[in-house]
Structure 1
Amino acid sequence: ANLRNAKNTDLYTIKGTEQETWEPTFVYRGFRYVELTGYGYQPALTDFTGKMIYDNIKTVGTFETSDALTNQIFKNAWWGIAGNYKGIPIDCPQRNERQPWLGDRGAVAFGESFVFDNGRFYTKWLQDIRNSQKEDGAIPDVAPAFWRYYSDNMTWPGTILLITEMVYTQTGDVNAVKDNYPAMKKWLGYMKDRYMKDYILTKDSYGDWCMPPVTIEAGRGKSADKKYPSELISTAYYYHFMQLMIQFAKATDNNADVATFEALGHKIKDAFNQKYYNEKGYYGTNVLTDNIIPLYFKMVPEKQVDKVFKNIVYTIEVTNKGHLSNGLVGIQWLMRCLNDYGRPDLAYTVATKKTYPSWGYMIENGATTIWELWNGNTSDPKMNSQNHVMMLGDLLTWYYENLAGIKAASPGFKKIVMKPEMIAGLDHVNATYQSVYGMIKSNWKKTPKQFNWTITVPPNTTAVVYLPANEGDVIAEQNIKDLKLIKNENGRAIYEIGSGDYSFTVKKK
């Protein structure tokens, strides 16, 4: 039923010779199970070969931990991402859709880039988006614009900014910014002129798309194809895009635009807080995404940051009993928000849950890729793909940047920040990433008494390394050249190192 009217059928008339070989061409089918009938004998599994069709994009990242569930989620993510690379980043490979929805990949492309060498792939897709832009500046929700679906919202068309940021950050190619700058600026002007009133962006289409039903039973048999537009989300995104445009303007010497973006951003931020902030320490209706987005986008006044974050923590720990409750929009900022504001342990709790709603729940219920819906085993099958990647959100980004500790401090990883989080229950992470400068490696293991970490920093780059070490701990280094201690801070010995292979050991006092 979740194929809709896509007929997952190929017909072949045999010639009647003793042996025939055939495979369908110019088509692909998303499937997990195959039914075979009409045989006069019991066929063996070795009689058949299933071929996975995806773009020839090299895998550039590996990731393995001491946690079996985390490892399986990563494997599911690889299969889901690869299976939806079809010259364009499609939403799903099986039903009668298979379209390059912008919102889906805006949520996950950054994480994908740690696993696949997708810079050129997404650079090409950015061109597709530009080619789909109307003369007045409108950008569609699907590009190439096969459906001609221009609903005017911030979160789907705004993917042009998010993908541009990803390509520039991960590859260092400033042409990604130069090529898309006029289109991004034109679209933002289009949205402002038509839908901004008193610095609130009044147009949205999807809200936090596909939020999980409160319970698994509450969503049983029900369609997830419901839209709850949110001016809070659209306004917050417009503000965030102003901050990105400031970065883009500076990177491309469009310095005359910087003051304009800064001034508009300040006015949007003030209007947003005046309209949506509640003195009890939350935004909007106090759902998780309403608080995460302004906090991660740095829209929250400094004096209110602690109150808002406490509300986020309370929602997850108490209301949700350690679970997430985000849809597509909120899930792309959740893990980094928790990490950046001091709760990587809570992010890990969310990431390793096996009960609904969670990535682990998908695994526990037999998923081999990533579901479209958190309740993919009970929802109405008409919109219920079993191979979507949008709900990965920023999970893969968090895996690499915060668990492995591999993060670009400047475009293209010319400068690297290596700061793995030490979380109870996670004792080992081994990750590699083939950057444009070469291989980056982070392999750490901890026990109650010792921490071991081997690092590879590629040629012509430098790294700032945050070694988990308290005063009195004994630090031993091997193969260390030009080691420079910057400072000791918050339980970290912070060093700057150049390219090479390094080994650190910290013995706890």
Structure 2
Amino acid sequence: MIFKRCIILTAFLTFSLNVAFAQVSLQNLRTELLQEPLGIDILKPKLSWEIHSAQRDVKQTAYHVLVASSVDKLTEKDADVWNSGLVNSAASVYNQYGGQALKSKNKYYWKVKVTTTKGDSEWSKTASWSMGLLNYKDWEGRWIGFDRFFPWDSLSEGRLSARYFRKEFTTEKTVASATAYIMGMGLYELYVDGKKIGDQVLAPAPTDYTKNINYNALDITEHLKQGKHAIGVVLGNGRFFAMRQAKPYKVKTFGFPKLLLQVIIKYTDGSTLSIKTDHTWKGTADGPILANNEYDGEIYDARKEFKGWAEPGFKEDKWLTAEYVQEPGGTYQAQMNEQMKVMKNIAPVSITKRDNGRYIIDFGQNFAGWVKFNVKGQAGTKVSIKFAESLEPNGELFRTNLRDAKATDTYILKGGGLETWAPRFTYQGFRYVELSGYPGVPQKSDFTGCLVYDDMKTIGTFESSNTLLNQIFKNSWWGIASNYKGMPVDCPQRNERQPWLGDRTVGAYGESFLFDNTAMYKKWLQDIRCAQKEDGAIPDVAPTFWRYYSDNVTWPATLLMVSDMLYKQTGDLAVLQENYPAVKKWMAYMKGRYMNAEGIITKDSYGDWCAPPVTAEDGKGVIADQKHPSALIATAYYYHLTTMMIRYSTLTGNGGDLAGYTELASDLKKAFNRKFYNAQRYYGDKLTDNLLPVYFGLTDDVEKVKVLKHIEYIIVEKNKRHLSTGVIGTQFLMRTLTENGRADLAYQIASQKTYPSWGYMIENGATAIWELWNGNTAAPKMNSQNHVMMLGDLLIWYYENLAGIKAAEPGYKEIIMKPELIKGLDAVNASYNSVHGLIKSNWTKSAKDFKWKITVPANTIARISIPAKSVAQIKESGQRITANVKGVKFIQMEGSRAVLELGSGDYSFVAEL
């Protein structure tokens, strides 16, 4: 099956999936692309733009798009690819291209102008995208590699050396453009004349290579003058050559590293030259990267470097002829999600000397990436760096929680001067490193921590009067960033690092307020669809690097719930349409196998995974890897998914399914309450078991009041205003309380510093988010200190309830702004860069007034709810609202709040209290 996706150009971040973004300003028009999207394989891309204006209440009424094959032809008269004409539409995002068929390897230029309620814009600056190799036959070369071990490799130790390949060629004419299309499995670095191309690392993004393979397109025009040249490629193992192969029934491996590359060179006279992988290439595995393994680290012997190996004229007589090898089997596709990059450099905060010439370096922050360092010494000197998240009480590295991951980089000096090194094909999760074998006395200036994650922009900010909430937010940012690796992984440090579905079911929604993660999560949904079995089964991990198909509801629910999140946050209906059939198939699979005669879904695997022990001491030394299957959780979740399918069946053009899902939901609700409801509570006395029915709407109004009282009893009386939820319950905890009038109780839970709480983690030294509530006492086998699954819906609550930034319509075309006013919280200042533009909410309250600064992006409206006894007590920029303030419309009073409708613009409100 071939999966096709669309392209985004963006003026404020690297390209994301499904849209091309321009930026239009009604005063100073501009389109600024930070990175030109290359090698796109989408036949009908969708185009979007952002409108900027200092005026209020700006709404688009029409647009006009031009697309041409050259800049010179990008005029209304000459546009030879598409001239949309004036389209009467308010849509500024996800407008589908409607021009001529796009052709393989061609570059296209486009611009847009808009008509608004405040006048017409000028044409935006020119933006562009280029098409990739759209057809299998466009790939002229063959896969090359060495499908075997070399004497220095060791399968039992997971050691496989890097492969190096090179090819020389000559450009006979002046080069107009040159693009390299590359599939380097599992990871690659591309060089032209000795210079690395691009700043991406750990490329390409991982997939199940038997299903789909990402290729990257890289512009190498500036590197090719007329004359002789050389191409060099280094291949690392990545997820292709599995790190652990002792359990073939569990771990999927794809073979030895291999390469397919094609360079298309266009000369100024219109002729072309194609360089492709074939038998004329040379290769070797006898290079400086002796071993590279994501779990264990990298071993690099600088004495074995080949000087000038990727430059023309290198003596390659000792290299081997590249061998033809089998292709991996998956469909070739352009990588549409962002590449990983070194996104931040981190300086050490201290270096502490230990015995035997060892040093402990503290970077002050738990993160994922590697260490780059400078060193000078004799040839053959071996420097070792071991990684860990924390220290033992005696000051040594605590590494037990890494399981059998060696997490060690080794560098062997070549001697003769200052050497600088960082690994290429591995990463680790750490705060501390142990340095051994280092010649001389290490200085902090010689070491840099490199934070590595997908090149996506941080689009959300949050700060409040509560310093603990602020620190939790910072820890969350670090944890989320650390675990973006071309897919969302559970942890970056131990011998796992897997894309577990259950960790992100709701968490992805909260993450979307911090990062523009749209492209990555659309890619991940494709990974899940690729992993679905013919009978409908969906795995617990996708891509299925681990073959886990445990048949439960809560983990596979991620496919629909992340689709739902992306639709809410972006307004892109296509994501629902694309994933609906797979969800429908899986829903039928689960119903047919695991719904009993009572109408209950009986199959669950994990229950409320990692619910906290009653006390931290109760969990001391206890392994958290314990499953407590729950038919209540499975049935409640299945009901919730059924109600979502009711909403989306008609919306996605599947109206024929509506009656069936409606009847199923009704039957499930009756069966659930018959089975699990008991007087005033559900089932036992667990918080999660009572939260889910309330949030999912399984409880009728009369019983809902009783269940809510029981929830309050559990939290207040039993838990002393703490949570007691695991992964499942924490996903709905804060919103259930807030939406039912107990935002104060949610705030008390979020503000706790004692066990179990997010604050407890911080009080015990956490700089990210722990995997376990009792991460300081639990057995180390499953005890990551950089996990995000326990964030639940906390970040959603931060933005939607504390800041008051919530989508009333998908994509924030309409915005609801209703911050919760909670005793003890006196200020919140947050921002979120939506697909339509920047939304800001900055409020403070005192005994006498409520001040609120708001930014509403162009082409949207916001309905705000501001505390006030009457509308007469509200001023905007010093004017009474009753004075017909521009952009502000009074709707009604709702209790002690005034509801106003705002057009786009900046506003400053003061309400007397």
Q: CA deviation at 1:40?
A: 5.1
| Aligned residue type for 2:543 | P
Question: Normalized per residue, which structure has more helix?
Answer: 1
Q: Which residue of 1 aligns with 2:892?
A: 487
Q: Which residue of 1 aligns with 2:718?
A: 319
Q: CA deviation at 1:147?
A: 1.2
2:476 paired residue among 68, 71, 77: 77
**Cα displacement string for residues 153-188 of structure 1 (whole angstroms, at most 9, x for unaligned residues):** 000011101100000000111111011010000000
Q: Which residue of 2 aligns with 1:507?
A: 912
Rg larger in structure: 2
Q: How many residues end up aligned between the 2 structures?
A: 507
Q: CA deviation at 1:472?
A: 8.3
**Cα displacement string for residues 229-259 of structure 1 (whole angstroms, at most 9, x for unaligned residues):** 0000000001000111112212212111111
**Cα displacement string for residues 426-470 of structure 1 (whole angstroms, at most 9, x for unaligned residues):** 111000000000000000011111110011111111111000112
Q: Is the 8 A contact 2:649 2:657 kept in 1?
A: yes
Q: Which residue of 2 aligns with 1:213?
A: 613
1:257 aligns to what SS in structure 2? Answer: helix
Determine the C-alpha separation between the residues in 2 that align with 1:501 and 1:253: 39
1:235 paired residue among 623, 630, 635: 635
**Cα displacement string for residues 332-385 of structure 1 (whole angstroms, at most 9, x for unaligned residues):** 000000000001111000001000000000000000000000000010001000
Determine the C-alpha separation between the residues in 1 that align with 2:623 and 2:869: 52
Q: Which residue of 2 aligns with 1:366?
A: 765
| Aligned residue type for 1:391 | M
Mapping for residues 171-210 of structure 1, pairs under 5 Å: 171-197=570-596, 198-210=598-610
Q: Which residue of 1 aligns with 2:485?
A: 86
Q: Which residue of 1 aligns with 2:258?
A: none
2:450 aligns to what SS in structure 1? Answer: coil
2:688 paired residue among 289, 295, 299: 289
Q: Which residue of 2 aligns with 1:115?
A: 514
2:706 aligns to what SS in structure 1? Answer: helix
Deviation beyond 4 Å, 4+ runs, structure 1:
none
2:648 paired residue among 248, 251, 270: 248
Q: Which residue of 1 aligns with 2:835?
A: 436
| Aligned residue type for 1:169 | K
1:128 aligns to what SS in structure 2? Answer: helix
Q: Which residue of 2 aligns with 1:386?
A: 785
Q: Is the 8 A contact 2:754 2:760 kept in 1?
A: yes
1:7 aligns to what SS in structure 2? Answer: coil
Q: CA deviation at 1:419?
A: 0.3
The verdict on how the C-alpha distance between 1:12 and 1:43 changes in structure 2, with shifts beyond 3 A counting, is closer
Determine the C-alpha separation between the residues in 1 that align with 2:717 and 2:868: 32
Q: CA deviation at 1:494?
A: 0.7
Q: Is the 8 A contact 1:473 1:507 kept in 2?
A: no
Q: CA deviation at 1:107?
A: 3.2
| Aligned residue type for 2:742 | R
**Cα displacement string for residues 258-309 of structure 1 (whole angstroms, at most 9, x for unaligned residues):** 1111110000000000110011x10010210000000000110111111100
Q: Is the 8 A contact 2:458 2:514 kept in 1?
A: yes
| Aligned residue type for 1:481 | K
Mapping for residues 18-97 of structure 1, pairs under 5 Å: 18-39=417-438, 41-97=440-496
The verdict on how the C-alpha distance between 1:322 and 1:473 changes in structure 2, with shifts beyond 3 A counting, is farther
1:497 and 2:897 aligned: no
Determine the C-alpha separation between the residues in 1 that align with 2:586 and 2:425: 35
Q: Which residue of 1 aligns with 2:744?
A: 345
The verdict on how the C-alpha distance between 1:146 and 1:39 changes in structure 2, with shifts beyond 3 A counting, is closer
Q: CA deviation at 1:39?
A: 4.1
Q: Is the 8 A contact 1:107 1:390 kept in 2?
A: no
Q: Which residue of 1 aligns with 2:706?
A: 307
| Aligned residue type for 2:910 | T
Unaligned runs of 5+ in 2: 1-399, 880-884
Determine the C-alpha separation between the residues in 2 that align with 1:290 and 1:116: 31
**Cα displacement string for residues 7-57 of structure 1 (whole angstroms, at most 9, x for unaligned residues):** 111122111122111111111011111122334543222221000111101
Root-mean-square deviation (CA, aligned residues, Å) is 1.1
1:5 aligns to what SS in structure 2? Answer: coil
Determine the C-alpha separation between the residues in 1 that align with 2:553 and 2:790: 19
Q: Which has the higher contact order (CA 8 A, sep 6+)?
A: 1
| Aligned residue type for 1:5 | D
Q: Is the 8 A contact 1:372 1:390 kept in 2?
A: yes
Q: Is the 8 A contact 1:107 1:328 kept in 2?
A: no
| Aligned residue type for 1:353 | Q
TM-score (norm 1): 0.98
Q: Is the 8 A contact 1:104 1:390 kept in 2?
A: yes
Determine the C-alpha separation between the residues in 1 that align with 2:548 and 2:895: 50
Single out whichever of 448-457 and 480-489 deviates more from structure 2.
480-489
Q: Is the 8 A contact 2:506 2:562 kept in 1?
A: no
2:660 paired residue among 260, 270, 275: 260
Q: CA deviation at 1:312?
A: 0.5
| Aligned residue type for 1:243 | T
Determine the C-alpha separation between the residues in 1 that align with 2:554 and 2:535: 19
| Aligned residue type for 1:497 | L
The verdict on how the C-alpha distance between 1:473 and 1:212 changes in structure 2, with shifts beyond 3 A counting, is farther
| Aligned residue type for 1:154 | V
Q: Is the 8 A contact 1:90 1:98 kept in 2?
A: yes
1:49 aligns to what SS in structure 2? Answer: strand
Q: Is the 8 A contact 2:826 2:845 kept in 1?
A: yes
Determine the C-alpha separation between the residues in 2 that align with 1:250 and 1:60: 32
1:168 paired residue among 555, 567, 570: 567
Q: CA deviation at 1:471?
A: 4.1
Q: Is the 8 A contact 1:107 1:329 kept in 2?
A: no
Determine the C-alpha separation between the residues in 1 that align with 2:439 and 2:887: 72
TM-score (norm 2): 0.55
Q: Which residue of 1 aligns with 2:798?
A: 399
1:415 and 2:415 aligned: no
1:451 and 2:850 aligned: yes
Single out whichever of 370-379 and 469-478 deviates more from structure 2.
469-478
Single out whichever of 34-43 and 389-398 deviates more from structure 2.
34-43
Determine the C-alpha separation between the residues in 2 that align with 1:10 and 1:49: 14
Q: Is the 8 A contact 2:887 2:904 kept in 1?
A: no
Q: Is the 8 A contact 1:402 1:421 kept in 2?
A: yes
Q: Which residue of 1 aligns with 2:623?
A: 223
Determine the C-alpha separation between the residues in 1 that align with 2:841 and 2:814: 15
Q: Is the 8 A contact 1:430 1:443 kept in 2?
A: yes
Determine the C-alpha separation between the residues in 1 that align with 2:494 and 2:870: 58
Determine the C-alpha separation between the residues in 1 that align with 2:898 and 2:627: 48
Single out whichever of 97-106 and 497-506 deviates more from structure 2.
497-506
Determine the C-alpha separation between the residues in 1 that align with 2:416 and 2:402: 34
